[in-house]
Chains A and B, each alone.
Chain A
């Protein structure tokens, strides 16, 4: 069986569309319709116990559960580490048939810039990214100790139908459809690497099938400027041209995705433009 944690989230939902339901056991705080499900909160001390009991037949684990925060408050580190890490460290030893683990890490472990390959220096700039870095290393130590391959997927900025309303493409499309002028406060040059949720799900499936072992970037490998994204959305929606100002600096980065091609036989298919068209076409 394939255990999926954080199954009710954006990536979890996308991954469940890509996996055969009969082979999946899910877990999340909220119930998930469809496959076998263990309702358990990763923040609770009994989380690994619940899964050791309810998902003992797990051979493949996909660790997606997380809580995204951009906080740099050191006072929040303890809770973030407890939530993201304590359960999975315990779980790794509680599933006797475990053969492979996928851990959903993040491009935020890197310093800005790019194209960034997997050996680029890591320099997490907030509490979330620090915990991701620690999880990469500690899960790596424990998995190596048990002889279990561990795929660490460093996932770029995700878009798609399952995005929360605050995700940048979702937010700008909604504003432009309402006729509002978009505001971009990070200057004309700030860029990101955007990747579609179903493309990420396909990368995860491939990582499982190929028993990928090590860090792999999962992104488009293409620079998309935030100002360009806003201009495209405004034009497509017939909204006024965006107001671009040089405000606060932002985290500009793009991935080198050569390893994903060779290790996973994978590349991103859907682009932000596809997502913009889908969102602006919708009701």
Chain B
């Protein structure tokens, strides 16, 4: 078994490489060194570069979600849609491809539109395909602009976390180590059509804020008396994952505590 991981230098990809070692011959592809194949997927890839590959975990892409200005919108198209097409055009027809998509696919942002389009593009590929939608990944390497990390930063400064939105809105977090391990199991398993990789229930934003404040010894979170109406839950249905006997091993409280410990005392 020869397995290709794209985005192999990234937060999730590097952990997938580690999780695959000993179970497959691993080839990492990234636009940055050190990768076995250094290639920017926004440009065409020669099929000869992927000869003998049996399984492909496609993680490469941009997770920037700031993309409302046109250049950023086009950047999301190139990084998430064009790159997927260029990769699949070069993949051997018998390989199992796992396209890593997102809980935000289809959301009203340039990122959400690009991830949704990447799923549609991948379905044009005629080989064995699994679309794996990831919940919000946290753990070492997470962008500090992520909501959880902004809360942790405030709590570590000893400030009360301010919850701007409705505190009952739910979010779905999965630790990067769980995400990598589960993606590798999906890659090495049978093709599954679509499978969601999440916590299986999520957490209310207010509850997450209380958890973080408690762990940091910060004052209780400040909730707005009159939060803006609207907003929606972002929680994945993980029934298909559970049916395979798979699920996360790191609970949210433990995962968040380890992140706070890693970031150090305030």
A interface residue numbers (CB < 8 A to B): 72-75, 77-78, 81, 85-86, 89-90, 92-93, 122-127, 130, 133-134, 137-138, 140-142, 144-145
Contacts and interface: CB of A to CB of B under 8 A. Distances in A.
Contact of B121 (A85, A130, A141, A142): A130
B69 A93 contact: yes
Contacts of A127: 85, 124
B120 A138 contact: no
Q: Top 7 closest A-B pairs, CB basis?
A: A77-B85, A137-B113, A134-B117, A75-B89, A74-B89, A74-B85, A89-B70
B109 A78 contact: no
A74 B117 CA distance: 13
Nearest to B91: A74
Contacts of A142: 68, 70, 73, 110
Interface in B34-83: 42, 44, 68-71, 73-74, 77, 81-82
Contacts of A93: 69-70
Contacts of A73: 89
A133 B88 contact: no
B243 interface: no
29 contacts: A73-B89, A74-B88, A75-B44, A75-B86, A77-B86, A77-B121, A78-B44, A78-B82, A78-B85, A78-B86, A81-B81, A86-B74, A90-B74, A123-B123, A124-B124, A126-B124, A130-B120, A134-B120, A137-B116, A137-B117, A138-B77, A138-B110, A138-B113, A141-B68, A141-B73, A141-B109, A141-B112, A144-B108, A145-B68
Interface residues of B, number: 28
Contacts of A138: 73, 77, 110, 113-114
A224 B128 CA distance: 35
Interface in B81-97: 81-82, 85-86, 88-89
A277 B114 CA distance: 45
Given A138-B73, A141-B73, A130 B108 contact: no
Chain A at the B interface: SS class: helix
Interface in B101-140: 108-110, 112-114, 116-117, 120-121, 123-125
Interface string B148-164: 00000000000000000
Chain B at the A interface: SS class: helix
Given A72-B124, A77-B81, A81-B77, 5 more contacts: A89-B77, A93-B69, A93-B70, A134-B77, A141-B110
Interface of B: 42, 44, 68-71, 73-74, 77, 81-82, 85-86, 88-89, 108-110, 112-114, 116-117, 120-121, 123-125
B108 A140 contact: yes
Contacts of A141: 68, 73, 108-110, 112-113
B129 to A, nearest CB: 12
A62 B114 CA distance: 23
Contacts of A130: 117, 120-121, 124
A137 B116 CA distance: 9
B66 to A, nearest CB: 12
A125 B77 CA distance: 19
A126 B42 CA distance: 20
A85 B68 contact: no
B52 to A, nearest CB: 20
Most buried by B among A85, A127, A130: A130
Contacts of B124: 72, 74, 124-127, 130
Given A77-B81, A81-B77, A133 B108 contact: no
B74 A134 contact: no
A20 B21 CA distance: 68
B118 to A, nearest CB: 9
A92 B70 contact: yes
Contacts of A74: 85-86, 88-89, 121, 124-125
Nearest to B67: A141
A123 B120 CA distance: 7
